[in-house]
Every structure is written in C-alpha cells, then in structure tokens.
C-alpha cells in the first residue's frame, strides 16, 4: 500500500495551493514577483516566475501574477487532493476487507 506516496502528493498540492493563493492575494501589489511551485521528482521547489515585469502608467513595476493561471492551478490542486484522499480511503477499505476475511 502506498499511503505515504498519497500523503506526499497531498502535501505537495497543499504547498502549491499556498503559492497560488499568495500570488492571487498580491495581484495588485506593485513590484510583486509571482512564484511557481515546480515539482522535480519527489522535490517541490518554489521559484520566481520568469515573466518579465510590466509597468503601470506611473512607471511603477506591477505584479507579474497571472490570476487566470493561478485559479486554474488552484482547481487542479483541489482535484489532486480529492483524488489522493479517495485513494487513501480505498486503501483503508481494502485493508478492512482483508482483515475481515482473515478473521
């Protein structure tokens, strides 16, 4: 049973959700540089986004957040957590059934 893998996936989705939520919360903050959570193997790295900063009419750097991208990412994160919770529940049900057979 791979419950640990499901828990790790839930933790990664949670961290990615935090990054997306922070980006959205700062969408109107001048000079804010959006971040992305990038998974490489088992590692989750938070890195600044490579999008070039734009300037508003006052010449101030504006946020590099793309709200549409972050909203989609948050939806993906939610579905990932739901799928992993369902997998853990299924594994638990299978263990209970096996224990019932053994008795």
Task: Give 67-98 pLDDT, tens digit per residue.
Answer: 889 999 999 999 999 999 999 999 999 999 99
For β-strands 43-48 and 35-40, DSSP reports them as antiparallel
**Domain extent listing, the chain:** 3-102
The proportion of the chain whose per-residue pLDDT surpasses 90, expressed as a percent, equals 50
Q: What is the pLDDT of residue 56?
A: 65
Higher local confidence (pLDDT), 79 or 51: 79
Residue 9: helix, strand or coil by DSSP? helix
């Amino acid at each position: 049973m791979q419950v640990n893998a499901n828990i790790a996936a839930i933790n990664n989705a949670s961290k990615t959700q935090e990054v997306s939520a922070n980006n959205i919360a700062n969408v109107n903050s001048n000079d804010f540089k959006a971040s992305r959570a990038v998974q490489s193997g088992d590692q989750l790295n938070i890195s600044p986004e490579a999008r070039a900063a734009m300037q508003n009419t006052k010449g101030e750097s504006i946020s590099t957040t793309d709200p549409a991208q972050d909203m989609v990412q948050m939806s993906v994160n939610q579905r990932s957590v739901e799928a992993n919770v369902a997998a853990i529940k299924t594994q638990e049900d299978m263990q209970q059934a096996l224990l019932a057979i053994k008795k």
